[in-house]
Structures are given as structure tokens and as C-alpha cells.
């Protein structure tokens, strides 16, 4: 049986043309909707993710973007020992926003509410996709997060924040990576394409 995809958006809830929204429609995915999608609070956003996970039966694959990646990391830490962790077959973590990165206070100061990011290994397989020129996270930090979380790291090249503004409405390369996560592929530590 194919796992259910749960979309975990970042700030602004990923708009109508964002690949997460397109995937939600295309794959019949569930979606985490935060009460205040512009102002994250780590525990509140993690609790909402937990509610969606509890309400969704069967095996799951989490698909997170930007601040949604931090939400997944916080949820995993806060849910340590929870049976729901066992139902997560894998996670696709795309373009993490680093709330500890200097200079983000001018881009999105509200991201600071997600700091510090948990650095414990995730209790499920994960694939972290990062961009070489993402204004919200350096490649070095993305690779360090992947290593800490026990995730494989994949560079998407110079892909901006891997969102609509960087030309990633429909994201076919992402669908290939999602397919790998759905089929429990175990990638090497760092892949570049």
C-alpha cells in the first residue's frame, strides 16, 4: 500500500502555484494548515503537524518545504517515544530555512521563532534537498543539518529557495525525488545533480 503524503508548508502556507499545492492536488495528499502561517511558533506548528498525523491512518511520507522542514524536526523531537513516529516511512525535506542564519532578520524575522533547530537524528529516513544559492540556508549548513538528522543530502544546484519565485511551480525533478522516498530508496550521503 502506498503511504499517504502529508504536505508541511513553510511561511505563507505555500501558495496556489507552489509545487506543494500542486502535489497536494495531484497525489491527493493531506496538508498541514497552520492557524497563523506567517508567524511560526515551534511548539504550536509541531502540535498542528501532530494533529494531522494522528488524523491520517496508515503509513506516511512527510513533504516539507522551508520553515516546514523546521516543523518536522521540532515535531520529531517533541514526539520522541510516540507511536506515530513508527508510521512515518520517510520525509522529503526541501530548502530548509535556517532560523539561526545571520541576515534572516531582514528577510523574514519571524523565522527566529523556530530557533534553535533540533539536531538529533530523525527517527525515520529522510532526504534533504538544498540549493546552492538559497538565501535562507547555506549549502554548508544544509549538509550539516542533513548529517545531524541522519538524512541524505541532495543539491538541486542553483535553484534559489525551490519555490515559485525561483521557477519551481511544477517541479518534475522533485517528483522523482519524492518517488525515491516513497519507495524507500537509501541514497548516498550527498548527491549532486
Q: Alpha-carbon distance 126 to 130, whole Å?
A: 13
pLDDT of residue 189 exceeding 50, the answer is no
Q: pLDDT at position 82, please?
A: 80
Buried b (16+ CB within 10 A) or exposed e, 99-125: bebeebeeebebbebbeebbeeebbbb
In CATH terms, 4-192 corresponds, of 3.40.50.1820, 3.40.50.1220, 3.90.1150.10, 3.90.1150.200, to 3.40.50.1820
The CB density around residue 1, as the number of other CB atoms within 10 Å, is: 5
Residue 6 parent element (H or E): strand 4-8
Mean pLDDT of 74-88: 89
Find the range with the poorest average confidence among 83-92, 122-131, 137-146, 147-156.
83-92
Can you tell me the mean pLDDT for 4-28? 96
* Whether the predicted pLDDT of 139 surpasses 70: yes
pLDDT at 38: 94
pLDDT, mean of residues 98-102: 88
Mean pLDDT of 54-70: 97
**d(Cα 63, Cα 20) in Å, to the nearest integer?**
8
Task: Give the pLDDT of residue 106.
Answer: 65
Considering the chain, what is the average pLDDT of its residues?
A: 91
> In the structure, what pLDDT confidence band is assigned to residue 180 with cuts at 50, 70 and 90?
confident
Amino acid at each position: 500500500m502506498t503511504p499517504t503524503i502529508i504536505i508541511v508548508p513553510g511561511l505563507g502556507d505555500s501558495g496556489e502555484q507552489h509545487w506543494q499545492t500542486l502535489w497536494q492536488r495531484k497525489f491527493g495528499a493531506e496538508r498541514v494548515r497552520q492557524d497563523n502561517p506567517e508567524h511560526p511558533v515551534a511548539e504550536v506548528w509541531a502540535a498542528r503537524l501532530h494533529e494531522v498525523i494522528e488524523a491520517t491512518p496508515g503509513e506516511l511520507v512527510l513533504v516539507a518545504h522551508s520553515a516546514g522542514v523546521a516543523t518536522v524536526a521540532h515535531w520529531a523531537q517533541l514526539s520522541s517515544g510516540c507511536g506515530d513516529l513508527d508510521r512515518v516511512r520517510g520525509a522529503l525535506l526541501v530548502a530548509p530555512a535556517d532560523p539561526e542564519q545571520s541576515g534572516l532578520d531582514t528577510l523574514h524575522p519571524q523565522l527566529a521563532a523556530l530557533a534553535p533547530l533540533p539536531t538529533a537524528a530523525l527517527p525515520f529516513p529522510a532526504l534533504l534537498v538544498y540549493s546552492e544559492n538559497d538565501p535562507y540556508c547555506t549549502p554548508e549548513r544544509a549538509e550539516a543539518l542533513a548529517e545531524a538528522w541522519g538524512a541524505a543530502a541532495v543539491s538541486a544546484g542553483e535553484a534559489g529557495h525551490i519555490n515559485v519565485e525561483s521557477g519551481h511551480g511544477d517541479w518534475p525533478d522533485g517528483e522523482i525525488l519524492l518517488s525515491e522516498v516513497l519507495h524507500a530508496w537509501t541514497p548516498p550521503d550527498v548527491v549532486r545533480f
